[in-house]
Amino acid sequence: MAKEKTVAKAKSKSAAAAPAKSAQSVKKATGAKTGQKSNPKAGAKPGAKSSARTASNAGGKKSGKAARAAGTMAAGAAVGAASAAPMGLETWAPGPASSKTSQASNAKELAAMRAEAESGDAKAQYELGSRYRFGQGVKQDLPLAAQWYRKSADQGYAPAQSDLGVLYANGRGVTQDEAQAVYWYQKAAALGDGIAQNNLGLMYAEGRGVAKDEAQAVKWFERSAQSGDAAGQYSLGVMQSSGRGTKEDGVAALGWFEKAAEKGHADAQYNAGMIYAVGALVPQDLPRAAQWLEKSATQGNASAQSSLGFLYANGQGVNKDATLAARWFERAAKQGYTLAQTNLAAMYISGQGVRKDVSKAYYWLLLAQAKDASLQNRVETLEQELSPADKVRVQREVRNWKPS
């Protein structure tokens, strides 16, 4: 997208600067956020480290006015393969039964499943392992989950092989062993499991449990993407946009981002939105950018929330609405997104979209300053408008703040 600019310098101007058609990085790929809403197996992926790189000039060469307007867009980065969360992104975590009838029904179903698993049925073994993994109808027991997964995996059941790889990659229920994770991913990937193919690609991309080989990573991402797995489509888009392990192709990357975005992949939605907002790879389309950013923002993506706030603040692709802008800035700010904190502070200073409140402006700016030392002068300026008691109170609140 457009490079976001802070708005604290001017009280009388719009709450956010118009997106510039200059360099702005697409969200760095992590491999942790997947199309969880549409893929019931999305929990099979490990999470990700933020060990990312960037690459520029994703749009290739342009000429004349188009080139000057497009500028350079930094494309998304290295795909991580480690765990951001203990078990990766888990999506199947149903709550307890809501009635005695359903409890009895669940108990009967569990007993039948256990009997089938003990008789050697691979699918039942996998499903029972998943019950213990997620604590559905039984007390969560990851070592026991791993045992049932292995029984199923040893019989060649791909979902169990894939999920057993996840447990090894994350050290959940078993001792962390990346080589074992790769071993089981390879088995499941060879059987056509799209999630395992993506996970195997992640391991090759970062050299975890196997020698780093970006070309191999792309190979597995392509297979995963072709199978329809949203995470694989996103990962392939990342590699194509940055030219890692394959020829750089920003337009093709956008195509994969949109495929994943349509399946509910929040990071892919953000990337697609940013690309349409910048207009470097394709003609700028702010309404379409806003649509993708809002889908991502609604899923909790802080970068998308902040970017969407800019669009509402400036009326770009959406009707100008300072109140909505402030709301999206606040949602991102609460997650610790520095630029959103800075711009929310600016809105409290000017009273745009919110009631003017110097104390709240100071609060958000002080939080932002912890990561952006360049805000020191603005912080000091606001301090002059506060009473000593208010200043101390806000500083205490900031010390106790935690992202939410």
Return phi, psi of residue 172, to 5°.
-115, 110
> Could you give the 3-state DSSP secondary structure of residue 163?
helix
Q: What is the DSSP letter of 28?
A: P
**6 pLDDT exceeds 50?**
no
Average confidence score pLDDT of the chain: 80
Q: Indicate the burial class of 363 (C-beta count within 10 angstroms; 0-12, 13-18, 19 or more).
A: buried
**70 pLDDT exceeds 70?**
no
Confidence of residue 102 (pLDDT cuts 50, 70, 90): low
**82 pLDDT exceeds 50?**
no
Confidence of residue 29 (pLDDT cuts 50, 70, 90): very low
Confidence of residue 76 (pLDDT cuts 50, 70, 90): very low
Return phi, psi of residue 75, to 5°.
-95, 165
pLDDT at 288: 98
Residue pair 203/178 in contact (Cβ under 8 Å)? The answer is yes
C-alpha Rg value of the chain to the nearest Å: 24
| Spatial distance between the Cα atoms of 372 and 374, rounded to a whole number of angstroms | 5
pLDDT at 106: 84
Closest by CA to 246, choosing from 224, 215, 216, is: 215
**389 pLDDT exceeds 60?**
yes
**14 pLDDT exceeds 80?**
no
pLDDT at 368: 98
User: Where do we find the tokens 């049925």?
Assistant: 121
**321 pLDDT exceeds 90?**
yes
pLDDT at 41: 34
Q: Helix 266-278 vs helix 302-314: angle between axes, to the nearest 10 degrees?
A: 40
| Spatial distance between the Cα atoms of 233 and 8, rounded to a whole number of angstroms | 39
Residue pair 58/253 in contact (Cβ under 8 Å)? The answer is yes
Closest by CA to 133, choosing from 178, 79, 88, is: 88
| Spatial distance between the Cα atoms of 309 and 318, rounded to a whole number of angstroms | 10
Tokens of 249: 């192709």
For residue 27, the number of C-alpha atoms closer than 13 Å in the C-beta half-sphere is 29
**90 pLDDT exceeds 60?**
no
| Spatial distance between the Cα atoms of 329 and 359, rounded to a whole number of angstroms | 17
**142 pLDDT exceeds 70?**
yes
Give just the sign of the alpha carbon dihedral 303, 228, 183, 237: negative
Cα 324 vs. chain centroid, distance in angstroms?
A: 22
pLDDT at 62: 33
For residue 141, the number of C-alpha atoms closer than 13 Å in the C-beta half-sphere is 11
| Spatial distance between the Cα atoms of 161 and 122, rounded to a whole number of angstroms | 11
Q: C-alpha distances in angstroms, 377 versus 114, 337, 380, 399? A: 65, 20, 5, 20
pLDDT at 104: 72
| Spatial distance between the Cα atoms of 122 and 116, rounded to a whole number of angstroms | 9
Higher pLDDT, 329 or 99: 329
**Cβ neighbours for 389, distance < 8 A, ≥ 6 positions apart:** none
Range in 61-65, 169-173, 379-383 with the lowest mean pLDDT: 61-65
pLDDT at 1: 43
pLDDT (tens digit per residue) in 156-168: 999 999 999 999 9
Helices (H), 191-335: 194-206, 214-227, 230-242, 250-262, 266-278, 286-298, 302-314, 322-334
Q: Model's pTM, two decimal places?
A: 0.77
Higher pLDDT, 261 or 68: 261
DSSP 38-103: T-TTGGGS---------B--TT----HHHHHHH---PBP-PPP-S-SSBTBS--------SSHHHH
pLDDT (tens digit per residue) in 203-243: 999 999 999 999 999 999 999 999 999 999 999 999 999 99
Confidence of residue 105 (pLDDT cuts 50, 70, 90): confident
Q: Indicate the burial class of 162 (C-beta count within 10 angstroms; 0-12, 13-18, 19 or more).
A: buried
Return phi, psi of residue 3, to 5°.
-75, 125
| Spatial distance between the Cα atoms of 144 and 260, rounded to a whole number of angstroms | 33
pLDDT at 289: 98
Q: C-alpha distances in angstroms, 94 versus 128, 137, 143, 206? A: 15, 9, 20, 33
**47 pLDDT exceeds 50?**
no
| Spatial distance between the Cα atoms of 294 and 71, rounded to a whole number of angstroms | 25
What mean pLDDT do residues 150-175 have? 97
**353 pLDDT exceeds 80?**
yes
Length of the chain: 404
pLDDT at 74: 28
